[in-house]
Amino acid sequence: MILLGGLSSAVGTWLDRWIGEYVGLWPLMTTLAVYALAAAAVNGGAALFLGAFALMFLARWRHVSMVRNEAHNVRQQIAQAGDGG
């Protein structure tokens, strides 16, 4: 899951396309969150470290989601302007 999410996010960033990051960040977040929960039973410091990364990926996903929504709104405005409306 980490490999899939990481590659998808990296390719999306490299190609400057939001869809790669939007899809790839969820596998990264969930995997790191599960590892953080498992690490909490053994080592609190590792759990905090992994949990912090999961939350950073969540914040990035929210930002990419806003970009996606804005792109959709602009696409609709362009379509309406093209229709004369």
Render pLDDT for 20-34 as a digit per residue (tens, 0 to 9). 788 888 888 999 899
Residues of the chain with pLDDT under 70: 84-85
pLDDT value for 36: 92
Confidence (pTM): 0.73
Return the pLDDT at 12: 80
Q: Which pLDDT value is given to residue 77?
A: 92
Nearest to 33 by CA among 63, 58, 11, 9: 58
pLDDT of residue 74: 92
CA distances from 50 to 13, 42, 66 (A): 22, 13, 25
